[in-house]
Amino acid sequence: MKPETFIIVNPTAGDGQAKKRWQVFENDLKNNHIPYHSVTTEYQNHATELVTEAVSSGYNRIGVFSGDGTLNEVLQGMFKENKIISDDLKLIFFPAGSSCDFEKKFKNNRSFIKRVQADDSIAIDIFKVECRDFSGKQIS
């Protein structure tokens, strides 16, 4: 496994404010000599593809600098045929969206640098929900 964290960045999160926030965080990563590799999302569902490519390339620490939407895309990419694509995969969320409801549920007060340096983790349940109307047609 690669020692650095693969960070997926959505610069349009938070009404475009994530781009500026990422520049600050990236400087912090460099100043603290934290090894990382970052890739910027370019289109819808790109993060789903990126996490699959990252794991295939040997990364097991995936950072998501985004809002809830891109976080969801990353989670979609972490699973194939309802199974996680790697048993030792770690996900680090760096909230940069406008609401970041996922972050609010965990009340994580750690700085972004502390998050990427931390070796501990919290297990959470992830489940898939499929919705259908009365005719059986899938709805979102």
For residue 11, which of 28, 23, 27 has the smallest C-alpha distance? 23
Residue 95: what residue type? P
pTM of the model: 0.85
- Provide the pairing of β-strand 61-66 with 36-40: unpaired
For residue 122, which of 86, 101, 98, 93 has the smallest C-alpha distance? 93
Model confidence at 36: pLDDT above 90: yes
Domain ranges of the chain: 5-139
Q: What is the mean pLDDT of the chain?
A: 88
Model confidence at 118: pLDDT above 70: yes
CATH (one of 3.40.50.10330, 3.40.50.2300, 3.30.70.920, 3.40.50.150) for 5-139: 3.40.50.10330
2 vs 52, residue with greater confidence: 52
Confidence at 103, pLDDT banded by 50, 70, 90:
low
Sequence-distant (≥ 6) Cβ neighbours of residue 103 within 8 angstroms:
93, 95
DSSP category for residue 25: H
- Provide the pairing of β-strand 131-132 with 138-139: antiparallel
Residue 79: what residue type? F
Separation between Cα atoms, residue 106 and residue 109, nearest integer Å: 9
Largest CA-CA distance found in the chain, in angstroms, rounded: 57
**Cβ pair 8, 41 in contact under 8 A:** yes
